[in-house]
Amino acid sequence: MSRVQFIERDGTRVFAVIPIDLFERLSDALEDLEDAALYEAAKAADDGFRVPGEVVDAMIRDGVHPVKAWREHRGITQETLAGQAGISKAYLCQIETGKRTGAVKTLRALARALAVPLDALDEMRRG
């Protein structure tokens, strides 16, 4: 005898009533499937870029601008980074201290010099 009850309307099954233990097992199984699908989607979208804890700490705990956090993590001087990005050291200093935001073109050049995606430096998106 089935533990599932069916409710019919006009000879067609429209509802199934199942015991709670079966419902809970099915719910758990469905949640596991959803978790697996989310994990696979995250793996497929992973670009491999990681932000080191040292950089995160500097930005969040210490309030350091992302450009400065990455520059210091890479062990690059302001002079070297400014030269690689094609900007003045003074302009770089203003960006790092938050006195200037830096044009997208400038941030793109800094990102390229620091070998990070542009999003890693875009403080405007950090709310």
Q: Collapsing DSSP states into helix, strand and coil, what is residue 124?
A: helix
Burial classification of residue 19, based on how many CB atoms lie within 10 Å of its CB (0-12 exposed, 13-18 middle, 19 or more buried): exposed
60-70 pLDDT per residue, tens: 999 999 999 99
d(CA 125, CA 127): 5
Contact, 117 vs 89, CB < 8 A?
no
Which residues is 54 bridged to in the sheet? Answer: none
Which residues is 17 bridged to in the sheet? Answer: 5
83-115 pLDDT per residue, tens: 999 999 999 999 999 999 889 999 999 999 999
4-19 pLDDT per residue, tens: 999 999 999 999 999 9
Q: Give the architecture (CATH level 2) of 53-126.
A: Orthogonal Bundle (1.10)
pLDDT at 122: 77
pLDDT at 8: 95
